[in-house]
Chains A and B, each alone.
Chain A
Amino acid sequence: MTDDSGRARFLARVAAALGRKEGEFARAAPIPPAVGASTPDEETARDVSALAKRFRDELALVSGETVFVPDPSGVDAEIERIVRSRGLGPMESDMKKADYAVLRAEALIADTGTALVIERTAERRLAPYLPRTCIVVADSHTLFPTMSSASLAALHAAARRGEKGEAVLITGPSRTADIEKTLVLGAHGPRHLIVIVSGIVFSEEVVR
């Protein structure tokens, strides 16, 4: 494996290609502010039900489902209903045997139907990928309009704090179009993705 001289030679070569003079190469480079930062978040007055509806519609476009429950205490009952109605096996912590996994999202992005999930332990690292059905649970106050520094704040904070594990943005069930560009749902990851959003009450026509 690389000894220090290999590393030094490598970096010297990069510096030389950039036209740096001998010894000019910066050692502990400070990171400048982001050149173009991210898209400004269209942070209007947060109309939660409009965001929720947009999230549901965008996720539906990529074949994911959204379920709304008014109260966080109703989430378990909803999961049970989903498991029963789809004939899924019992709750399993061994992901190799599990029919489904339940993930917690730290943010939902309405514009793309995306859920931010952070798995911090070794036991949970396969949960988003191995079972055929993936149930994601989130609170309505984590809904954001667009992918931005604001909506991804939880991810950015975890990375900056030096937390370990994997953060993943999930947009719909897994898919492939590698054969003749024909879309097939359920490639190596889940075939079904259901997001349960808790904590808001809708008028009837929004939910339908």
Chain B
Amino acid sequence: MTIHFDRKQVHDDLQSPSAPAILDSSMRRAVEHKHDAQALIAWDELRERAHEIKAYSIEHLDELLVRFESEFTARGGRVLWAQTADEAASHFLDVCRTHGARSVVKGKSMVSEELELNARLTAAGIEPVETDLGEYIVQLAGERPTHIIAPAIHMSRQDVGSLFERKLKVEYTDDPEALSEIARLRLRQRYLDAGVGMTGANFGIAETGTVVVVENEGNGGLSSQAPPVQIVVMGIEKVIPTLDDLTLFLQLLARSATGQKMSTYVHHFLGAVDRRAMYSIFVDAGRTALLADPVARESLYCIRCGACLNVCPIYRRVGGGAYGWVYPGPIGSVITPSMVGVDDAGELPFASTLCGACSAECPVKIDLPHLLVHQRSRSVDEGAASSPLENAAVSSWARAMSSSRGYSFAVLAARVGGAVSSMLPWISPTARAWSKQRSMPKVASMTFKDWWRER
């Protein structure tokens, strides 16, 4: 597997939060926009129905995948199946080679990040070109997207200005409009020259084999339509039954992701015209691990709007880079341990206050706090996320509380300990992290039992 998850880095990042100053204000603005747009519709009712449709889709995933395949094939496309990220990347490279592609223009796709597709293409001598402005910036900087919807949210306009000055040899400007125009002019010819165009998918419609992509910049339209070969890379959880179901999701997605009533472009790829070729790569890469877990399964309802990131107090403090892999925020903390393994990512579900802001925002009503707690217990059960100190503390607590003798002893110990600890000149570094901000509770001078006896 090509998964680069740096456990140590994640641990350090979560310990010392250092989100760029720009993040919090951007997130606050995003949430305000969203609430304005939500005020106008029966939001809760729509979420409820979206949840039901997703629940149905996931419970019937095998059937829907087969139906999608037969419809997509009937319209001149070809479906490729990839169990792992490696397999998906190999399929992608095979298609590129078959059609002799030298470069690939890419619409925004989180799945392609899972595949480490850019690195794989480059190694094979094929040039990947990100076309979404945020992704283009991140690619130029040699970084990774830090937000599902806004990949370059961690960079200021000045950062982008000096990046363009350095990498594109243009005069410095930090005007977003001018910077966007520079990117547009650079990319225009790239669409026309590319051998393959790639997009992700927001929805796959089983009924008609239609791939639906939602975007604002027009780069999704150009990436999919300009090159002679189109490849869609799609997680298997993206399939929904019918076109009638889609309408509802379009309203929820636009509002939750960007606060728009409707995204600028909703592309429906109906089938390849003329001699153009169209492929769909269905990617598992750990999704069946989520599917097989009756509790975590609900995380497959996610439509990748990023709303749970925007309101998460942890995300807003640490930024997307701290989560170590492709999907940050509450949803990332739930799915990453199942997708890359509890051994590596078992710490992530603890990066949450369980405040519930995420589930209040989720447009498909995923019970994220519940799933976070579920993943925490898996981490502990599999020994991936508990310290010896914590284990010792919890098991002595259990022992003390399970018999009256144990309890009396614990009370005595607490009284002695409380009296002694204030006189001690030292305190362990582990304890200091906690005690720095807090004082120990005072133990009462008399126990309730003593008081009762002497009353």
Instruction: Give A residues with C-beta under 8 Å from B.
Output: 1-2, 6-7, 9-11, 13-18, 20, 25-29, 31-39, 58, 62, 96, 111-114, 118, 120-122, 125-126, 128-130, 147-149, 152, 155-156, 158-160, 162-182, 184, 186-190
Tell me if B187 counts as interface (CB < 8 A to partner A): yes
Nearest Cβ on chain A to B67's Cβ, whole angstroms:
5
Contact of A167 with B270 at beta-carbon distance under 8 Å, contacts A9-B83, A147-B247, A178-B133 already known: yes
**What is the interface of chain A mostly: helix, strand, loop, or mixed?**
loop
CB pair B241–A31 under 8 Å, yes or no, is yes
Nearest Cβ on chain B to A75's Cβ, whole angstroms:
24
Nearest Cβ on chain B to A129's Cβ, whole angstroms:
4
Q: Which of A29, A39, A159, A187 contacts B205 (CB 8 A)?
A: A159
Cα separation A152 to B407 with both chains bound (whole Å): 69
Could you write out 30 A-B pairs with CB less than 8 Å apart? A1-B91, A1-B95, A11-B62, A11-B66, A11-B81, A13-B83, A25-B63, A31-B206, A33-B242, A34-B244, A35-B49, A35-B241, A35-B245, A36-B50, A39-B247, A39-B248, A121-B274, A149-B243, A158-B270, A163-B271, A164-B76, A166-B221, A166-B268, A167-B268, A171-B265, A179-B179, A181-B29, A182-B157, A187-B218, A188-B217
CB pair B176–A147 under 8 Å, yes or no, is no
Cα separation A148 to B184 with both chains bound (whole Å): 34
Nearest Cβ on chain A to B15's Cβ, whole angstroms:
28
Per-residue CB contact flags for chain B residues 257-276 toward chain A (1 = under 8 Å, else 0) read 01011111111111111101
Q: Which of B95, B152, B288 contacts A14 (CB 8 A)?
A: B288
Given contacts A1-B80, A16-B288, A175-B217, list 18 more A-B pairs with CB under 8 A. A2-B81, A14-B236, A18-B291, A29-B64, A35-B52, A35-B241, A39-B46, A39-B247, A114-B262, A121-B273, A126-B226, A129-B222, A148-B247, A152-B243, A163-B270, A165-B270, A177-B150, A188-B219
Cα separation A165 to B46 with both chains bound (whole Å): 30
CB pair B65–A130 under 8 Å, yes or no, is no
CB pair B29–A36 under 8 Å, yes or no, is no
Q: Which of A10, A28, A149, A173 contacts B282 (CB 8 A)?
A: A10
Q: Which of B133, B157, B258, B271 contacts A187 (CB 8 A)?
A: B133
CB pair B264–A181 under 8 Å, yes or no, is no
CB pair B221–A128 under 8 Å, yes or no, is yes
CB pair B150–A181 under 8 Å, yes or no, is yes
Contact of A125 with B225 at beta-carbon distance under 8 Å, contacts A147-B262, A165-B270 already known: yes
Nearest Cβ on chain A to B113's Cβ, whole angstroms:
16
**What is the interface of chain B mostly: helix, strand, loop, or mixed?**
helix
Cα separation A186 to B216 with both chains bound (whole Å): 10
Interface centre among B46, B222, B284 (most CB of A within 10 A): B222
CB pair B222–A126 under 8 Å, yes or no, is yes
Residue of chain B at shortest CB distance from A162: B75
CB pair A6–B64 under 8 Å, yes or no, is no
Cβ of B43: which chain A residues have Cβ within 8 Å of it?
none
Cα separation A13 to B131 with both chains bound (whole Å): 34
Per-residue CB contact flags for chain B residues 21-57 toward chain A (1 = under 8 Å, else 0) read 0100010011000000000000000100110110010
CB pair A187–B219 under 8 Å, yes or no, is yes
CB pair A181–B63 under 8 Å, yes or no, is no
Interface centre among A15, A39, A156, A181 (most CB of B within 10 A): A181
CB pair B292–A17 under 8 Å, yes or no, is yes
Cβ of B251: which chain A residues have Cβ within 8 Å of it?
39, 147
CB pair A164–B75 under 8 Å, yes or no, is yes
Cα separation A33 to B242 with both chains bound (whole Å): 8
Nearest Cβ on chain A to B264's Cβ, whole angstroms:
5
Residue of chain A at shortest CB distance from B61: A14
CB pair B291–A17 under 8 Å, yes or no, is yes
Cα separation A166 to B220 with both chains bound (whole Å): 12
Interface centre among B62, B268, B292 (most CB of A within 10 A): B62
Interface centre among B81, B179, B192, B260 (most CB of A within 10 A): B81
Contact of A96 with B288 at beta-carbon distance under 8 Å, contacts A36-B52, A129-B218, A178-B133 already known: no
Contact of A178 with B152 at beta-carbon distance under 8 Å, contacts A35-B52, A164-B273 already known: yes
Cα separation A33 to B52 with both chains bound (whole Å): 13
